[in-house]
Amino acid sequence: MKKIILSLLVVTSLMACKKNEPTEVTPEFAYASFGDSITAEGTLTKEELLDKYTNLKEGDTIEVKFASVIKDVCQKKGCWMNVDLGEDKKAFIRFKDYGFFMPLNAAGSEAIMNGKAFVSVESVDVLKHYAKDAGKSQEEIDAITEPEVTYSFTANGVLIKE
């Protein structure tokens, strides 16, 4: 019994004297998850996605995951958002089958979106509807007079950095 206690004391003493060496830790971020469960692995930058958009024609789609900052969110119920692509470009994000919505206060948050990227032409009526949902003034809504080519995205999952 004395040998066991002595052995434990020696091991404890050696462990107490062990020098703690710093370890490199990769910071992990906490995310709020919406829609399908996704991870941050394999995420493209907004610039990489913008480059892919420039090579798409109407009717083309690509599966992609990318990170960007949310510029604005539908203020009625969070059913769409615009995200920054750089170079004064933005992507218009909708959610697969209206299966989930974004928090109304998500503008300015960093997000990761997974889904399908495509180029579409939005009609004047649709653009006016989105402007109204965004809380634009009647003057701004009336100024919409031409269809617009947009970089669109249907997300099946979104992570918002907390």
155 close to 94: Cβ distance less than 8 angstroms:
yes
- At residue 1, the pLDDT reads 53
User: Residue 63, SS3?
Assistant: strand
Number of domain units in the chain: 1
Instruction: Find the CATH number of the domain harbouring 141.
Output: 2.40.50.110
Tokens of 128: 């006016």
The pTM assigned to this predicted structure is 0.72
Contacts for 46 with CB less than 8 Å, ≥ 6 apart: 66, 67, 68, 83, 84, 85, 86
Question: Distance (Å, rounded) from C-alpha 135 to C-alpha 141?
Answer: 10
Q: For residue 10, is it within any domain?
A: no
For 37-82, the pLDDT digits (tens) are: 999 999 999 999 999 999 998 899 999 999 999 999 999 999 999 9
For 97-139, the pLDDT digits (tens) are: 999 999 999 999 999 999 999 998 889 999 999 899 888 999 9
Residue span of the structural domain in which 135 resides: 31-161
